[in-house]
Amino acid sequence: MGESELTRSVDMSGEVLPITAICIVADRNKAPIGFTPILKTHDESVDADLWRESAFSIWSRPVRYIAVSREIKTAIPSSRSVITDLTVTKESEPVPHGYIAIDYTADSKEKALRKRFLCVKTEPLESCVDAVTDVIVLSKTKKPPRDHSLAGNE
């Protein structure tokens, strides 16, 4: 998969499609089928690696990327869901009620993040009012762009 920024997926009517699934991968080229990794930060267009270790371990340095999917894979309407919220919690904190923690990478089954969990809340597509339609990674900017919410500080 080449290096491209995440772009909004649009259906035939011109509406932005909601994100239906999210995962973390250890290899940008091994995102699950139907998932697009976020490779560049929104604010500075630098590597969107979530692990961020020192440059001294460059040869075997672990990396982590968020990957998103907008595919609705099932024909059974009652089992189709979309992501309605994301939050980042410390490992020592409980996962918020109604959320699922992403604690391992989808490709290598390694620990997803250091000392933190990415937590995802989903709701059935038919009954949700608001859904997440875009996920960006910021490198230096602390304030999210307009029409975006902050999920975590680190």
Residue 35 has a CB neighbour count (10 Å cut-off) of 20
Instruction: Show the tokens assigned to 19.
Output: 């994100």
**Residues β-bridged to residue 40:** 47
75 vs 67, higher pLDDT: 67
Q: How far apart are CA 96 and CA 98, in angstroms?
A: 6
Averaged pLDDT for residues 127-141? 89
Averaged pLDDT for residues 42-49? 91
Q: How far apart are CA 52 and CA 139, in angstroms?
A: 11
pLDDT at 8 over 60: no
Is residue 19 within 8 A of residue 68, CB to CB? The reply is yes
pLDDT at 120 over 80: yes
Kindly give, in sequence order, each residue whose CB lies less than 8 Å from that of residue 128, ignoring residues fewer than 6 positions away.
Answer: 18, 82, 84
